[in-house]
Amino acid sequence: MPDATPQARPEPPALPVTFRPGRTRAVLVGAAVAVFAVITAVAFLMERLGPGERASFVLTALLLAGVLLLLARPKVVAEESGVTVVNLTRRRRLEWAEILRVNLRPGDPWVFLDLSDGTSLPALGIQPGIARQRALADARALRALAEARSAPGVGPLRP
C-alpha cells in the first residue's frame, strides 16, 4: 500500500538571503580583469602606438570588461517584504503575493517566476550553467520561501 503522508517540503532559509550564480560570477569577474589587464598591457608595450591609439585600446578594454561585469550582475534578493530581481540591465521589486510559482524546468537557462499579472519574469540570479546542483537548491529554497510567504494567513490576503 502506498504511503499516504504528504511529501515534506524543504524548510525555507532565513531571510534576508541573496541568490547569485557564484561560480559564473567568479569566472566573469576574473575574465573582465584579465581582458582589461592584457589589452592595456598590449597598448603600452607596442612602441609604435601613439597616445590616441593607446587610449583607444584602453577604452576598448574598459568596454569589454564592462560587458563582462554586466553579465556578472544578476542576483535575486529575498527579504521579509518581498523579492528584488536584478537582471542584466533591469531591477524589479516584487511583493511575495505577486509570485505565483517559481519554475526551473529541465533545459531552462535560469529560473522563471510566474507572476499574478499573467506574465513570467526571468530571474537570472539562479542559473544552472556551471553549478547545476547549487541552482536546483537555490530554486527550491526560493520556491519554499514563496510558498510560505503567500500561504493563507501570511502576508496580504488573496481574493
**Whether 52 and 106 share a structural domain:** no
Alpha carbon 54 to its chain centroid, in Å, reads 35
The predicted model scores a pTM of: 0.80
> Would you say residue 17 lies in a domain?
no
> Would you say residue 154 lies in a domain?
no
Quick one: three-class SS letters along 47-97? Answer: CCCCHHHHHHHHHHHHHHHHHHHHHCCCEEEEECCEEEEECCCCEEEECHH
**Whether 79 and 139 share a structural domain:** yes
Which three cell numbers mark 108? 531552462
**Whether 144 and 98 share a structural domain:** yes
What's the domain count of the chain? 2
Instruction: Find the CATH number of the domain harbouring 96.
Output: 2.30.29
- Which domain, by its residues, includes 65? 22-71
Residuewise pLDDT in 10s, the chain (159 residues): 444 444 556 678 888 999 999 899 999 999 999 999 999 999 999 999 999 999 999 999 999 999 999 999 999 999 999 999 999 999 999 999 999 999 999 889 999 999 999 999 999 999 988 888 999 999 999 999 999 987 554 444 333
> Would you say residue 117 lies in a domain?
yes
How many angstroms separate the CA atoms of 137 and 131, rounded? 10
